[in-house]
Chains A and B, each alone.
Chain A
Amino acid sequence: EPEVTQTPSHQVTQMGQEVILRCVPISNHLYFYWYRQILGQKVEFLVSFYNNEISEKSEIFDDQFSVERPDGSNFTLKIRSTKLEDSAMYFCASSEAWTGGFHTEAFFGQGTRLTVV
């Protein structure tokens, strides 16, 4: 079964450093997403990406964050100048583009646990 792959599974970084979280979405999917989950809290939407541009972003996704699809398979989330409060599990997801039905399903990766120290 196809799956969304995220690397690394755990990243530890010092406050103020930049991190790049990587994701390989399912190959025929065209919508990509990043979510985060701070320990013990809700899963929060960060950003969606389609056709090489951001289609929607939340208030959390400020100038500290950026996304990129550098090649045909990877989708990355860059966090500049990390803060302690950026410590969370970050989930990548992907879904097919709408093809005329009323439903597409979002597939999530297993997440990257980011710890900022």
Chain B
Amino acid sequence: DAKTTQPPSMDCAEGRAANLPCNHSTISGNEYVYWYRQIHSQGPQYIIHGLKNNETNEMASLIITEDRKSSTLILPHATLRDTAVYYCIVRVDLVLSNFGNEKLTFGTGTRLTIIP
């Protein structure tokens, strides 16, 4: 799986959009970008994933550059409960990853602090 690079920490004011960048310059064509977060040593929580198109769900938006070498997770209206470590993970699609094995390789992530 491709390696990712994230800033170690970021701050964002409550109510503003939080934009978390991730570099994955060695990503290959069959690899997806996944985002998980971990709130204060709880179990990681899935946020969103994408291949090449921008994606949006009830939690966040994911913007992937055209060359797929970087992406940005956007939390549109950050709240104090969004304070967490955010992990950008690149992994192969399921056809190549043993049909459903969701093994994840976590990096150090970005510690996002939402400031009141």
Residues of chain A having any CB pair with chain B under 8 Å:
4, 30-31, 33, 35, 37, 42-45, 48, 50, 55-56, 89, 91, 93, 95-98, 101-111
Contacts and interface: CB of A to CB of B under 8 A. Distances in A.
Contact of B45 (A56, A96, A104, A108): A108
Contacts, number: 73
A109 B42 CA distance: 8
Report the interface size class on chain B: 20 to 34
Contacts of A35: 104
B41 A55 contact: no
B32 interface: yes
Contacts of A91: 43-44
A42 B45 CA distance: 15
A106 B49 contact: no
Task: Give the residue among B43, B49, B99 with the most A Cβ atoms within 10 A.
Answer: B43
30 contacts: A30-B100, A33-B102, A42-B106, A43-B44, A43-B104, A43-B106, A45-B103, A48-B101, A48-B103, A50-B100, A50-B101, A55-B98, A56-B101, A91-B44, A95-B102, A98-B94, A98-B99, A98-B100, A101-B94, A102-B32, A102-B95, A103-B32, A103-B94, A106-B104, A108-B43, A108-B44, A108-B45, A109-B43, A110-B43, A111-B43
